[in-house]
Amino acid sequence: METAPPMDLCDRIEAADHRVHAFVPEPGRRARLRREARAAAERWPDPAGRPPLYGVPVGVKDIVHVDGLPTRAGSAVPAEALAGPQASLIDRLRAAGALVAGKTVTAEFAVTAPGPTRNPHDPGHTPGGSSSGSAAAVAAGMVPLAIGTQTIGSMIRPAAYCGVVGFKPTHGRIPADGVIPNAPTFDTVGLFAPDTAALSPAAGVLCDDWRPEPAGGGPGEGRRPVLAVPTGPYLDRAEAEAAAAFEDQVRRLADAGFPVRRVPLPADFDALVARQEVINRYELARTHAEWFPRYGELYREQTAAKIRQGRRIDHEEYASALRDRDRFRDRLTAVMDQEGIDLWITPAATGPAPRGLDSTGDSIMCLPWSVAGVPVLGLPAGRAANSLPLGLQCVARAGADERLLAWGPGIELVLGGPSAPV
């Protein structure tokens, strides 16, 4: 994975970020990174003994606590009110030799009110959200690795819009302590990188009990995974251009020798959406139970409205939604077992990044997989007619993160690799 001397890194950020606005401004970034790089060199003077992420600069979403950097969560709430101990994922990164390049922009409290980040491919279009800054920082070549979080579509959608790889592990696989929550039932820490090859070293550092799979994803097999296209109302949510591109991607994968099946996605999709909203809003309101009464006038209306909705949901409605979520997750696993499915494949977003910066786009294509808590790999998959990137998401069963990343390069090769900004 790419490393960069601190001054080269800062030059790169300064050269690109005045247009993209992926990073939270940080006075003294150069001096801090110089100190951290010097400390790392003193700690690991022998190149042969350096850890796997030595010198790798990492962007960190600004809901993750990092010692020495304030956490503002894209909000006007005072940083001291949001302060907390450093996240253990940052401990792991630093123990592996990584350098925290800086905090990356998030939608307010990782909900939907956008930050200032722009799409590196066209600054008039959204980069997606809520992990907007992390995806854009990787897409613009400022850092080779970035940390994001996904509640519903907060990583895989911006990865698609920005033309980079996004990895959302199984829920809870990367510890989320020290991360300001949105809805803990769904919140998942993940990674952005330019390609799948850059993900495995970082996943091995950050994910609990990581056991790398051999190339090809099957123990000693090297076989191609069985891919499933989910039929029904879910897939109908994709826009015409994205749906046509997806069918072309499916054809190319089949022509390359991947077994492809068309399988109905279980459950009433509209009911699943409604139940997800109940869980999300209820938990969001409780996350902000102390901050919102004190600082509510500082919240943006998009965030405040969702908190108010969550305060009106009673516990029994929430508990019922959780039971429905569990049943959906169990049915999804059962279908994969019955049909011999290794990976579901779908469009990563409803289409290319929408024009304008007032919205982060539609997360609906990510919703079933986030509800189920299963691992997802988002891959660049060509471009739309307006030259903006499109993405494909590959979805494995819970706990099969290693196999998902082992299968990723073969699928990535068929799709054509990452999309550099034009």
Q: pLDDT per residue over 69-125, tens digit each?
A: 999 999 999 999 999 999 999 999 999 999 999 999 999 999 999 999 999 999 999
The answer to whether 132 is a known catalytic residue is no
Q: pLDDT per residue over 198-217, tens digit each?
A: 999 999 999 999 999 876 65
The answer to whether 154 is a known catalytic residue is yes
Catalytic one of 75, 130, 131, 419: 130
Q: Is 168 in contact with 114 (CB distance < 8 Å)?
A: no
| pLDDT bracket for residue 220 (50, 70, 90) | very low
Q: For residue 30, which phi and psi values (nearest 5 degrees)?
A: -60, -45
How many residues would you count in the chain? Answer: 422
SS3 state of residue 379? strand
Calculate the CA 29 to chain-centre distance: 25
Exposure string for 368-404, b = 16+ CB within 10 A, e = fewer: bbbbbbbbbbbbbbbbeeeebbbbbbbbbbbebbbbb
Mean pLDDT within 4-28: 92
Q: pLDDT per residue over 383-416, tens digit each?
A: 999 999 999 999 999 999 999 999 999 999 999 8
Q: Specify the pLDDT at position 283.
A: 98
Note the pTM of the prediction, 2 decimals.
Answer: 0.96
Catalytic one of 75, 131, 132, 154: 154
| pLDDT bracket for residue 6 (50, 70, 90) | confident
* pLDDT over threshold 50, residue 317: yes
The answer to whether 387 is a known catalytic residue is no
Q: Specify the pLDDT at position 420.
A: 61
